Amino acid sequence: MNILYIMTDDHAFQAISAYGHPISELAPTPNLDRIAREGLLFSNAFVENSISAPSRATLLTGMYSHQHGQTHLGYGLNPDRHFFTEYLQKAGYRTAIIGKWHLNVDPKGFDYYKILNDQGEYYNPYFRTSESDGKYMQEEGYVTNLITDAAISWLDTISNDRPFCLMVHHKAPHRNWMPDLKYLDLYEDVTFPEPPTLFDDYSTRGDQMRTHELSVAEHMGYAFDFKVAQLQNEPTLKYIHDSFDIAMSTMNEEQLEIWNASYDRKNKEFLQNRPEGKDLVRWKYQRYIKDYCRTIKSVDDQVGRLLDYLEEHDLVDNTLIVYTSDQGFFLGEHGLYDKRFMYEEAFRTPLIIMYPGGLKGKHCDELVQNIDYAHTIMDAAGLSVPEDMSGMSLVPLLKGEDISWRKSLYYHFYDYPSVGMARKHDGVRNERYKLIHFYGEGYGDDKDIDSWELYDLQEDPTEINNLYGDERYEIIGTELREELERYRKELKISE
């Protein structure tokens, strides 16, 4: 069986129409929906640490963050850890990865790679390949399209005497959400529905929800995030100010002219009559969600191109197709952008899988997690799974077999102090309840913290009523704390 694994960066399930969220009704994703129609949509898929590099390392190793070492964004993957691609390659698979890599070790187990420099650029990005002698070479074009071009070119070079495993890792829809030129004005006349918690006042939460730097209202930059270049010097975090120059620096003059004409037009009214208070937050949300969905539009187009390629080459019946993201994302829920927190929108990740001969057009509600991906691919490839992988194979679920499945999930976010200043926390979630423990020493003005949250997701799906300490939930709280302790002990969590 061939493997086509497509992963985006920061794609919220709210922005995939197969998941049925109101946002995606206005910005549909017909090609991602094709995978759902022909495959299985996981409605309860989660990550174990909602941030990019740890999630990528988990995908490749099948391990939790503390097991592979990449607990933080910027450092850590243990170079001795094996990637599932090494096993596939040994078993005779042709293997390739195209797109975002962003790990501190070189790709292992790939016949071919073509990877972006660091986070990569949206326009005219730099790629390094397994053949470029360590050099990054710039290519003209839009990143999502170029990654797909390279994926198709690689598929064209291989013959069908051996199976392939191709990983297509998009940069989009990562911050700062720069759309392709042809989509700059898409959705401009649409008003997206605001999430009910856009103005969440965090009244039942601890300090951690008042000291983060991840709010739409206060922590996004006018130039970098909202594309109002005229306001680059309005007060903002220094990295946001500098990031704008970097993001624009790879565009050529012709691209820049089209870009500026579009945003100047869209910014005119805003600059003439700048809204304030809640109206300003509403304006920011609309600008953010539109650019976000514009970058998704290109992802959807390009996934469609790959699906068409598979159909035209009679590969659909023997290829496992996975679509997922490295984690979910807040699209204004709790007033947030970004990820990191264990609240549903960031903790969840979209996951849609087409398994030849498996379930079609169905949803699966089991609690699955990104520790399961390596396991699943090894299983689908007919290989025995190494003992150091932590997850479970999703293949029985994909085939619709009646098997016993896990009843809860463990989550742990470590990367503090860092961009966004989200505090360290771990927690457990079962079908109905979630327990979160924020902990650790404070940095700068932040205080040391030891703060618990408990949510009844059935009664309170938007997670605004922290029930920790509520006597009606005493037994449930105790059970969840025991479950958390069980995970911490079994997984040998040391912090």
Footprint of Ca ion on this chain (CB under 5 A)?
9-10, 52, 326
Question: How far separated are the first and last CA of the chain, in Å rounded?
Answer: 40
What span, in angstroms and rounded, lies between the C-alpha atoms of 85 and 43?
27
What span, in angstroms and rounded, lies between the C-alpha atoms of 212 and 217?
12
| CA-based R_g, the chain, Å | 22
Q: H-helix or E-strand containing 293?
A: helix 277-312
Q: How far is the CB of 337 from Ca ion (least distance, A)?
A: 12
> To which residue do tokens 């946002």 refer?
23
CB 38 within 8 A of CB 339: no
CB 77 within 8 A of CB 57: yes
Q: How far is the CB of 50 from Ca ion (least distance, A)?
A: 8
Query: Which lies closer to Ca ion via its Cβ, residue 50 or residue 267?
Result: 50
Query: Which lies closer to Ca ion via its Cβ, residue 342 or residue 359?
Result: 342
Query: Which lies closer to Ca ion via its Cβ, residue 9 or residue 366?
Result: 9
What span, in angstroms and rounded, lies between the C-alpha atoms of 342 and 356?
33
Pinpoint the alpha helices (H) of 161-252.
208-211, 238-248
Query: Which lies closer to Ca ion via its Cβ, residue 338 or residue 372?
Result: 338
Query: Which lies closer to Ca ion via its Cβ, residue 319 or residue 324?
Result: 324
Q: Which residues contact 329 (CB under 8 A, 6 or more apart)?
A: 10, 11, 12, 173, 337, 338, 339, 345, 346
What span, in angstroms and rounded, lies between the C-alpha atoms of 324 and 6?
6
Cβ-proximal residue to Ca ion, closest one: 52
Q: How far is the CB of 17 from Ca ion (least distance, A)?
A: 21
Q: How far is the CB of 329 from Ca ion (least distance, A)?
A: 8
Q: How far is the CB of 402 from Ca ion (least distance, A)?
A: 34
Query: Which lies closer to Ca ion via its Cβ, residue 102 or residue 290?
Result: 102
Query: Which lies closer to Ca ion via its Cβ, residue 2 or residue 65?
Result: 65
Q: Which residues contact 214 (CB under 8 A, 6 or more apart)?
A: 330, 336, 337, 338, 340, 341, 420, 421, 422
Q: How far is the CB of 327 from Ca ion (least distance, A)?
A: 5
Q: How far is the CB of 389 from Ca ion (least distance, A)?
A: 22
The closest of 355, 388, 317 to 87, measured between CA atoms, is 388
118: which DSSP letter? T
